[in-house]
A and B are shown apart, each in its own frame.
Chain A
């Protein structure tokens, strides 16, 4: 029983429910408990490289810090004892609690998101959305096309760089490349649109109609999915309880 094997749609719905629930909690303990609990569940039921996890976490740590001090400086005026003054704003105890809550919420959201992202195979997710979520095959397969298109896009972009360099655009340093990106957008889009037309033709030529289809890869819902979902919901319940206590 691991989060890797868990049905992606069930996982998606559960994780989203938890995040929505968190949005209505205004004490610092609930998001903190969810954050720690998610890490515990992740270490018990998933095999995730913590180094990767840490790298993904860095930008959100920055966001959390930004949230913390924005809420302190631009916090809503509230009655109560002023703890300290920050850039001319009277910071009360209530303001501090809220700021810490919101910063911890960012971290809890990220931990939950990473639990999903780092344990979910995108292809299986789309299959599962089609099988359990009743997603139209027309859309599901165009998501696959889009996903597969990514390397083509990269290739086209390299080609455009080379063409532009041939025509005498100076592209020596990395910075030159970055600065040139806006000029690539239109030719890149125009090329992609033409590609899209060809892809659609070849899908139709292979008798893709977009009607309901049978699939080779079946993504089932099992008892262990329900168990893992219950564990996550239990974690939320306990965290809410810790918060109000």
Chain B
């Protein structure tokens, strides 16, 4: 999978992962504060934040594996800079990354329109929710409550990660820092 990757793309991937690992950690604390008050649903509406690096990396680099690897790297770096969720977070990263990657795989890594990015956010929401369902024992909750949780997470995934990721990347494109990466090249090709 890594054969077609240039070193500078891999390093970009890991730098993006560091920046977002910090953002992710900050929001874990925001979520934790809430969670004591209103329970695990506190995380749901901001859950998209934790998928965003997948969408940004895939949108900029446009190679198979970008969505998956960036999320796993972000999780690993989160663990390295100190997070009590510990090794579990890598597992979470793998699962979320697979969900986002699936959307790009289905479209053959050829389309990076807004709807594909939103689909990736949705995909990450689906796989990560399956994980929460098992590990958090959501079977113990009433189905309506579980459905509400999922709806919130899916919406958050599509809007914050999908739409938000696109907006952020397009803003970055305007700074000129992305010259030499697929996003800038493709942008020029389309005129």
Contact = CB atoms under 8 A, between A and B. Distances in A.
A51 to B, nearest CB: 14
A197 B171 contact: no
Interface SS, B side = helix
A245 B154 CA distance: 40
Contacts of B36: 62-63, 65-66
B84 A189 contact: no
Contacts of A71: 140-141
A154 B135 CA distance: 34
A96 B85 CA distance: 26
A114 B84 contact: yes
B73 A15 contact: no
Contacts of A75: 140-142
A234 interface: no
Given A12-B87, A139-B2, A149-B15, A190 B141 contact: no
Contacts of A143: 14, 73, 76-77, 80
B12 A153 contact: no
Nearest to A71: B140
Contact of A196 (B8, B32, B86): B8
Interface stretch (A163-171, A199-207, A235-243): A199-207
A45 interface: no
Nearest to A181: B26
Interface in A109-137: 109-110, 112-114, 116-117, 122, 125-126, 136
Contacts of B29: 59
Contact of B79 (A117, A138, A150): A117
Contact of B7 (A109, A138, A189): A138
Interface string B7-30: 110111111111101100000010
A186 B142 CA distance: 42
Contact of A76 (B7, B37, B87, B140): B140
A138 B140 contact: no
Nearest to B41: A70
A93 to B, nearest CB: 13
B79 A210 contact: no
Interface residues of B, number: 62
A147 to B, nearest CB: 5
B58 to A, nearest CB: 15
Interface in B86-111: 86-88, 90-91
Given A19-B88, A74-B145, A101-B137, A145 B15 contact: yes
B88 A67 contact: no
Nearest to B82: A117
A56 interface: yes
A106 to B, nearest CB: 8
B140 A210 contact: no
Contacts of B7: 138, 200, 203-204, 208, 210
A150 B7 CA distance: 19
Nearest to B32: A59
A142 interface: yes
A153 B135 CA distance: 34
A130 to B, nearest CB: 13
Given A66-B38, A196-B15, A189 B172 contact: yes
B189 interface: no
A47 interface: no
Given A138-B5, A192-B19, A117 B83 contact: yes
Given A145-B15, A197-B12, A199-B11, A139 B140 contact: no
Contacts of B88: 16, 19, 109, 113
- The list of the 4 closest CB pairs from A to B, nearest first, reads A70-B39, A113-B86, A62-B36, A200-B8
13 contacts: A15-B86, A16-B91, A19-B88, A62-B36, A71-B140, A98-B137, A101-B137, A113-B86, A114-B84, A186-B171, A189-B16, A194-B177, A210-B7
